[in-house]
Amino acid sequence: VPAAAADLDRTDPLASLRDRFILPEGVTYLDGNSLGALPVGVAERVNEAITRDWGVGLIRSWNDAGWYPAPARVGAMLAPIVGADPAHKSVVVCDSTSVDLFKALHAACSVRPSGRRVLIAESDNFPTNAYIAASVAAAYGLELRAVASDQVVAAVERAGSDVAAVSLTHVNYRTGRQHDMIAVTDQVHAAGALVLWDLCHSAGVYPVALDQLDVDFAVGCTYKFLNGGPGSPAFLYVNRRWIDAVSHPLQGWFGHRAPFEFDSSFEAAPGIQRMLTGTSPQLGLIALEAALAAYDGVDINAVRAKGEALTDRFISLVDETLGDGSAGAADHDNLVSVVSPRQASERGSQVSLSHPNAYAVMQALIERGVIGDFRAPDILRFGFQPLYVRFSDVDHAVGVLAEVITTRAWDQPRFHARKSVT
Amino acid sequence: VPAAAADLDRTDPLASLRDRFILPEGVTYLDGNSLGALPVGVAERVNEAITRDWGVGLIRSWNDAGWYPAPARVGAMLAPIVGADPAHKSVVVCDSTSVDLFKALHAACSVRPSGRRVLIAESDNFPTNAYIAASVAAAYGLELRAVASDQVVAAVERAGSDVAAVSLTHVNYRTGRQHDMIAVTDQVHAAGALVLWDLCHSAGVYPVALDQLDVDFAVGCTYKFLNGGPGSPAFLYVNRRWIDAVSHPLQGWFGHRAPFEFDSSFEAAPGIQRMLTGTSPQLGLIALEAALAAYDGVDINAVRAKGEALTDRFISLVDETLGDGSAGAADHDNLVSVVSPRQASERGSQVSLSHPNAYAVMQALIERGVIGDFRAPDILRFGFQPLYVRFSDVDHAVGVLAEVITTRAWDQPRFHARKSVT
């Protein structure tokens, strides 16, 4: 007999962390992998930054309110969450994930082993990763081999000593399938190549061990599981053995050795500072800094353990209520299937289901206060941020999903009208 | 007899616009060309966006709170301020100025007339402009000719039909000297080349006429005279005759024809949307949007007229109190000189002075509540945003400057200790 959700919530060692977030009434939020919930204190901190630091401090706040060092300071706060020693100064927060991916992949190619001509990326990854890989491969005259995620290991093996770099995303945004980061990193290194990990869907919910695995480069988003707010700046990790050797074409004044000497020729800053480009987005940085307080004293291993339990329970309940033999399973246009791996160790803090009318199903769920998202063509995506998602939320979400499916509540015209984003 | 400042302020048709800003007591703010003052309503709007749109709306706000179209919507608000017809959809707000400069200069080179091999830029421009020009020239195999600002016209003439593109800044950040944008644009076009204007120091205070002059590309900062807040996202203009032809290497999902189809191959969006890269920084966009309300109903020609009057008066008063023959003028380490052009039509809304101990002088001024900034090696820089700077501020600032100079108040150890930013 599985444990009751109420009992699990009562004994959950992370249960009190939910109080670090402001969550609206009547909503079960399973979309923290798209936009994290609002942490307590962020609104107050940003308001203070605007009214006091900007309004009164004005230009003086670049020194007095810590704006100038913010990209490195917030990077150091974020470092332990992704297994980087803050003392190594290998993490910086700046720009968008797309721009940081461009810079990091250029940086990787700038120090690739000589004579190597192949860049390996994933064909079924988030689109930006494919576009940037194509852009960087063209810039360096490398051959881009974009292969399906499950073919990466074989592709690295086949390319052998031709591989310059491998650009991968830890957890796939559609399926939730997670690479074995230890094994793949070791394989790429054994081939003498460099690895870049995109941690968009794992930073904050998985004990990523960048230093320990000796990962070369990493980037990630801060507005998903890290709760930095809409469009908050991304993070970028460069292994300290590379940092003083890399270059990238987005050379701007903030990446210069001495920005305020206003030299007309570019000389890269020592250390992670060289990965910066222009003036950093202070409101976004300030919101993110305040948001990261939600991780104070939190053990990411415990977060992951709860994440596995939440997603396991979600899959079990879906199987139970909507699996073979259940009501609705006979309708060919109303079949729910589990897309994410059933083995917890193979997936991120996410469960993806498929349904032939997934868009409409998700709209019907949202109308009922259960918020996940849709990914084309047929994916219902549910993200589980263990800092604020409860076991009872899992039960409630599956209950509402079962109702929407078995009553075909999704089959109404208003649920089929597409908006630009879901 | 020059008019009294009080009389000029009383009859200033723009005087009431100062009420659209929140300015601290006891401060005369002449650094709006580095970080603009806080407009009324920004703090409230950002707070609402955080608590309501993010906190309650959560992911739904990408549709319901207008986050998704924000880069184009705020671009359209900004367009008339730089002489662009919003209906042409040629302005977008995204990323930092440095990143936008990179994208715009790449875009220019991507449609350069065939066979042309020279990129002209300024050697005495803001450093990022030089660094990005070097980066883009290298990417396209173009020869970069970086010449002094006053040699641009001659360089274009000399290079003739070899010129592919010319990248210039309208108003020089150090000297305040302003290019004749009409004449230079015409000259570059007559040479069959493309022009890119950086409007960092003119957008918001000068009637830039991008459409009318048929400028090809432009970028600019929004946190200086446009008051968008620290690190607010930059703007990017692409003439509509180029927009569907250009490409750039920062190809990300937000620049795709259909971002939410998640195609694995990049197909650029039609129109200005293709200049976007990643997820846009919403807090920065929201603050900027609220800040631009300070321009509601404002005639930029009137802003410029007042800017000329303010800077004329400042120079006259400096001459009068600190010019040849005045007290202090005999001390070789205490000489103030006017660096900016004395002809109003040749300068932006800025006056730069030089002083052998400019850093210490500026620190002494700031301690007395007169805020400008220092630019290496010897520049005292004063910016005049006519929306909130009064004629009486000019008189007060020169009075304090004269006191600091004539009493050598700057000559104290604490004013010489450098901070990272001034």
d(CA B191, CA B120) in angstroms, rounded, equals 12
pLDDT per residue as tens digits for the range A240-267: 999 999 999 999 999 999 988 888 899 9
Give the up-direction half-sphere exposure of residue B234: CA atoms within 13 A in the CB hemisphere.
26
Average pLDDT over residues B340-355: 97
> Looking at the predicted structure, is the pLDDT value of residue A421 above 70?
no
pLDDT in tens, A295-330: 999 999 999 999 999 999 999 999 999 987 665 556
> What number of CA atoms fall less than 13 Å from residue B69's CA on the CB side?
10
| Residue environment code for B266-283, b if the CB has 16+ CB neighbours within 10 A, otherwise e | bebbebbbbbbbbbbbbb
pLDDT band at A279 (very low <50, low <70, confident <90, very high): very high
ipTM of predicted complex? 0.97
Tell me if A251 and B134 make a contact (CB, 8 A cut-off): yes
Q: What values do phi and psi take at B379, rounded to 5? A: -100, 130
B224 is catalytic: yes
Return residues 302-361 of B near A (CB < 8 Å): none
Residue-level pLDDT at B261? 85
HSE-CB for B52 with a 13 A CA cutoff:
9
Sign for the CA dihedral angle at A263, A265, A267, A273 comes to positive
Residues of B in contact with A283 (CB under 8 A): 46, 229-232, 281, 283-284, 287
Average pLDDT over residues A207-227: 98
Give the distance from residue B225's alpha carbon to the nearest chain A alpha carbon, in angstroms.
13
Report how far residue B356's alpha carbon sits from residue B323's, in angstroms, rounded to the nearest whole number.
15
Q: Provide the percentage of residues in chain A whose pLDDT is more than 70.
A: 97
Return d(Cα A113, Cα B49) in angstroms, integer. 47
A68, burial (CB in 10 Å: exposed 0-12, middle 13-18, buried 19+): buried
Say what the pLDDT of residue B1 is: 62
Closest CA in chain A for residue B147 = A264
Distance, in Å, from the CA atom of B61 to the CA atom of B77, rounded to the nearest integer, reads: 21
Nearest Cα of chain A lies from the Cα of B36 at a distance, in angstroms, of 8
A247: which residues sit within 8 A by CB, 6+ positions away? A106, A107, A110, A268, A274
Q: Does B260 touch chain A (CB under 8 A)?
A: yes
With an 8 Å Cβ cutoff, are B55 and A43 in contact? yes
Q: Are B322 and B395 a contacting pair, CB within 8 Å?
A: no
| Whether residue A177 has pLDDT greater than 80 | yes
Residue A94 pLDDT > 60: yes
Non-local CB neighbours of A384 within 8 Å, separated by 6+ positions: A30, A32, A205, A307, A310, A311, A314, A349, A350, A351, A394
| pLDDT value of residue A422 | 44
Instruction: Check A127 against B253: CB less than 8 A apart.
Output: yes
Q: How far is B116 from chain A (nearest CA, A)?
A: 20
Using the predicted structure, report yes or no on whether residue B418 has a pLDDT greater than 90. Answer: no
Q: Which residues in chain A are closer than 8 Å to B27, comparing Cβ atoms? A: 58
**Above 60 in pLDDT, residue B91?**
yes
Crossing angle of helices A300-322/A391-406, nearest 10°? 30
**Which residues of chain B have a CB within 8 Å of the CB of A99?**
95, 99, 250, 252, 277-278
* In the predicted structure, residue A354 carries a pLDDT above the cut 90: yes
Average pLDDT over residues A395-422: 89
Average pLDDT over residues B251-256: 94
Rounded-to-integer distance, Cα A46 and Cα A52, Å: 10
Measure CB to CB from residue A59 to each of B34, B136, B234 and give the nearest one: B34
Identify which has the larger pLDDT, B344 or B420.
Answer: B344
Distance from CA of A322 to the nearest CA of B (A): 26
pLDDT over 80 (residue A382): yes
pLDDT of residue A370: 98
Q: Would you state the pLDDT for residue A1?
A: 63
Which of the residues B89, B112, B145, B224 is marked catalytic? B224
Closest-CA residue of chain A to B267: A131
Task: Check B20, B112, B381, B390 and give the catalytic one.
Answer: B381
Closest listed residue to residue B180, CA positions, set B216, B220, B150, B204: B150
- pLDDT of amino acid A215: 98
Q: Which residue of B has its CA nearest to A287?
A: B283
> Strand, helix or coil at B376?
coil
Provide DSSP, B191-216. TT-EEEEE-TTTTTTS---TTTTT-S
Is-contact A118 A145, C-beta < 8 A?
yes
Compute how many other C-beta atoms are within 10 angstroms of the C-beta atom of residue A3: 12
Is residue B197 pLDDT above 80, yes or no?
Answer: yes
Q: In whole angstroms, give the CA distance from residue B294 to residue A240.
A: 46
The DSSP code for B342 is: S
pLDDT at B422 over 90: no
Between CA A35 and CA B197, with CA B283 as vertex, the angle to 5 degrees is 125
State the pLDDT at residue B421. Answer: 55
Mutate to test the interface with B, among A99, A110, A123, A273 (most CBs of B within 10 A): A99
Mean pLDDT to the nearest integer, B113-131? 96
Give the closest residue to B105 by CA, choosing from B131, B127, B75, B76.
B131
Q: Is the pLDDT of residue A372 over 80?
A: yes
pLDDT over 90 percentage in chain A: 93
